[in-house]
Every structure is written in structure tokens, then in C-alpha cells.
Homo-oligomer: A and B are copies of this chain.
Amino acid sequence: MEELGSDAGANGATPRPRLEDVAARVGLSTASVSLVLRGVPGPSERTRQRVLKAAAELGYRPDRTASALASRRSRLLGVMIDVHSAFQAELVEHLYTAAEEVGYDLVLSTQTRTRDESTAVETLLAFRCEALILLGPVAPASVLAELDRRAPVISVGRRITGADLDVVRSADDDGVGRIVDHLVGLGHRAIAHVDGGKGVIATDRRRGYRSAMRRHGLDDRIRILHGDHTEEAGEGAGRRLIESGDLPTAVVAFNDRSAIGLLTALRGAGVDVPGTVSVVGYDDDTLSRLGCFDLTTVSQEAEEQARRAVVAAVERLDQGRVTPREIVLAPSLVVRGTTARPR
């Protein structure tokens, strides 16, 4: 069924079969073959069968670059990721399945230490991606707006203020609110927050913490320590808490990584978690599920975010939607072993 000439490819060989070869084999025009292979209605059933058979026999594979050029459609969605992020890896996984369902393919481009966001995006554009799905972009809103004029941009995970483009994210403030509710429900009142620095996401989570505390009448218990998104920051914050001599009964970290740093610092100093202090993270990293951490955290519904992002892109590309849309999903609390009633 599948037989390539003799030795093809790499070393000295038969070129890959073209549409024309398939056409010649069945004595039809390339036009007909093209129609059949793309499933366009028109060709008769008999023609259809013969073409499919010939294509299979030759091992024909359409050349994306050529068809993209001819059709002026690449059916490609560009995805910018940070290959180091476990959460984004999960998103990518779901993006693939979502894209496949609507007949699009994905091209991935990652930022690295030496490869910035704009390089990653330019690469995507050079591939002629029709839309850009950016996971946690950090570029200013104006830059993203500019980009959106070249191809529809969907920002995933980051709220964009002042730019008219699509956003899919989960309600970070709400997520933190649920954490605080959970802790208050357990009887905690001295609840501190180790924040994530100056980013948009950190701002939202900080706000969520503040307003939840107020909602529970704990205004005077609001206590925010500075941090960022790394384990080191969490560890540092943990040490500061201990040195302060005034341990809260619960700490809400910016994310799981920070929470893990916190855990390390606290337990390292002999503080029992969750006995003496409860700790909560954010993101539901693979890490946090690990037996040794068993962290209470918030899940961001990766699958749903991925699906929504793809849908948003398709609406822009195939359904002519032009008005931007912000989709905010409700995150969900995942209670594990680092939270308990205060002593």
C-alpha cells in the first residue's frame, strides 16, 4: 500500500510525489485531484475513489507551503509559549486538540533567555499564522494592539486594559477570594499574602486578597509581603515571616512555586504546616500534586481556556467577528493537605 520508489529522501532520491503525479496516475487534471483531496464537493464518486487510491499508493502528502501560498490561507494558529512553564505546557496540550477539531494546525514558538517575545511572534508571523494565541504575554498593551492589526491576537491568562483585543483568562481576584473564603471558613483570621510583584496578574491576585479580607471584616489583618513568581521569593518571604516573630495562621502565596518556597522555609524552621500555619498556592502545578507538597491551590481550567482561545481565533478568522471579547473563567479551589483549622 505504502511504497516509495527506492531510497528516497535524505540521500540521493526520488522527490516526494506531487499533485501532478497523482493526477497523471489516474489520468485526471491536478484540479480534480486537488478538489478530491480537500473534500470539496463536485467530483463524482468514482473519481473520488480512484484519486484516493492513487494518492495512497504513491504515499502522497500535500505540501503545506504550496497550498498556503496558493490559497492565501495557512490554516495555522501561532502559539507563543514559555517552554519552561508547566502550566503553559498543559495549555498547549489542549490547544492542539481544540485546534484539530476546527481544522487548524498549530505552530509553536517559545521565548527563551536569548529570544524575546517579539522575536517569537515575528517567527509566527513569518510562518503566515492567521491568528496569534499568546500565552501570558508581557508586552505593553500598545504593542499588542499594534500586533493585532497584523493578525488577530488572543491574550491568554493576561488581562489587557486599554487595547481592543481578545482575552481569555481566569478570574484571578475571584480565585484568591475563594482561597480566603476557604481559610476563613476553617477559622483563620490572621491571613497574610506573599505577592507576585508588579505584573498584571500579581496585581489582580493582590486585589482579590484585599477585597476578600475586607469582605470578611478583616481589614486590619491585611498583611502583604513582597515576592515574585519563584521558589526563592517564597523562601525569602517565609524567612521574613519567621523573623518577624509574628506568624500568621495562614499564608496565601502568589503561585505554587512561591508556596513551595514558603513551605520549605517554614518546615525548615520547624514550623508545622498545616498544623501551625496553613499555606495555599495558585495554578495547580504538577508539582503541587506531588505527595511531598500536597498543596492546597487553585486550578485554572487549562482545557477550558485553551478551547475558548481557539474558538475566539476561529470566530475572528472564519466568522468575521471584529469586536473584541474578554472571556473570564471561574477558577476552582483544590483543597489538599496544606490547609487545616488554626490551632
Contacts and interface: CB of A to CB of B under 8 A. Distances in A.
How many chain copies does the complex carry?
2
B316 A292 contact: no
A9 B129 CA distance: 12
A287 interface: yes
A22 B103 CA distance: 34
A129 to B, nearest CB: 11
Contact of A115 (B96, B149, B232, B290): B96
Nearest to A231: B290
A190 interface: no
A125 B291 contact: no
Interface stretch (A25-33, A65-73, A248-256): A65-73
B61 A65 contact: no
Contact of A112 (B10, B93, B105): B93
A83 B286 CA distance: 13
Contacts of A105: 123
Interface stretch (A177-185, A202-210, A220-228, A260-268): A260-268
Interface in A7-46: 7-11, 13, 16
Interface stretch (A50-58, A84-92, A193-201): A84-92
Q: Counting chain B CB atoms within 10 Å of each CB, which of A9, A83, A92, A107 scores highest?
A: A83
B65 A69 contact: yes
8 contacts: A4-B149, A11-B152, A61-B126, A66-B69, A107-B108, A232-B291, A260-B290, A261-B291
